[in-house]
Amino acid sequence: MSTPRLDPVSEQAIDWMVSLRAGKPDAALQERFNAWLAMDPAHARAWATLQERLGASFNTIRALDRRLPGQADEARQLLLQPHGSRRDALRVIAGLGLLGGGAWLGIRSPLGDSLLADLHTGRGQRQDFTLADGSRLSLNANSAVDLRFDDKQRLVILRHGELVIQVAADPQRPLRVRTAQGEIRALGTRFLVAQEHDATRVVVLQHSVEARLFNGTTLALQEGQSALLHEGKIAPFAGDQRYRADWLSGRLNVLDDPLEHVVDALRPYSRGFVRVAPDVRGLRVQGVFPLNDPDRVFTALAETLPIRVERYSPWLTLIRAK
């Protein structure tokens, strides 16, 4: 259910900017930064891109606000104050999800997908919809779908995010949900689909579905069963995974998942960019957490795991080892 994260080099560039702008100038730190910059041309490109985008941040927010009236109020107020710093600009741009890969404010970004999608939700927003055939669709926060319904087909295209759908029966038009990895075909059933970073998660809440990859591989899943659809294979899960639909009631139910996945589930509810250091991403987590209060969850995780949570205003949160 995650949104795409920054590539590792861009994450390193952000770490360097935070370090270089925190506290007094340090010659040794500057020397290490210069060595990192010279180590790989990709490092210099990432640093230049970050500085270029920060320099254009005022025009970026103005353009965003024209396209999404009222959606960028907090960001605009912070960026357009007379003495706003570039560090503030980083927090704002990261919080709006504009530092990811793909075109700058382009249609290939999650923001662009949402702007063009038939149905979508924003940060921290869950919403239920009744489709033209009577099916009931629920979207998790920061999700977007397109609909292709006519007299021959019922197709829901999940652009990003997560959905639960209660399918109205129609033997002539089996409903399909399409993702980046394949399709899930149903006839009078209820199931969950999440577009994750490089796979699709399917959980059958009632009855059964058929999962199909674009290469023709198929797998039938019964009530309570689940699987991950990868580009070349379908990997079923052992055990009942229906708890993953608890987001419908505002809860994040975690049963021995890595910290990285927990943070991914909270990203659609977090106002800013959250970066998890590679050495703590695999820490195992259990518990039930409130989706609508990510800061409270991060605090609870810091109390139970060997991590520290560093907040640079609401726009940037770094999670590192203690």
Residue 178 main-chain phi, psi, to 5 deg? -105, 140
Residue 318 main-chain phi, psi, to 5 deg? -115, 130
Q: Tens digits of per-residue pLDDT, 163-212?
A: 999 999 998 999 999 999 999 999 779 999 999 988 999 999 999 999 99
Residue 319 main-chain phi, psi, to 5 deg? -115, 120
Q: What is the pLDDT of residue 192?
A: 98
DSSP per-residue string spanning 66-89: HHSTTTTHHHHHHHTSTT--HHHH
Question: Which domains does the chain show, CATH number per domain?
Answer: 8-106 (no CATH), 117-242 (2.60.120.1440), 250-321 (3.55.50.30)
Q: Tens digits of per-residue pLDDT, 117-161?
A: 789 998 899 999 999 999 999 999 999 999 999 999 999 999 999
Instruction: Say whether pLDDT at 64 is over 60.
Output: no
Task: Please state, in angstroms and rounded to a whole number, the distance separating the CA atoms of residues 39 and 19.
Answer: 18
Q: What is the pLDDT of residue 110?
A: 56
Task: Please state, in angstroms and rounded to a whole number, the distance separating the CA atoms of residues 252 and 262.
Answer: 8
Q: pLDDT higher for 26 or 76? A: 26
DSSP state of 140: -
Instruction: Say whether pLDDT at 316 is over 80.
Output: yes
- SS3 (DSSP) at 101: coil
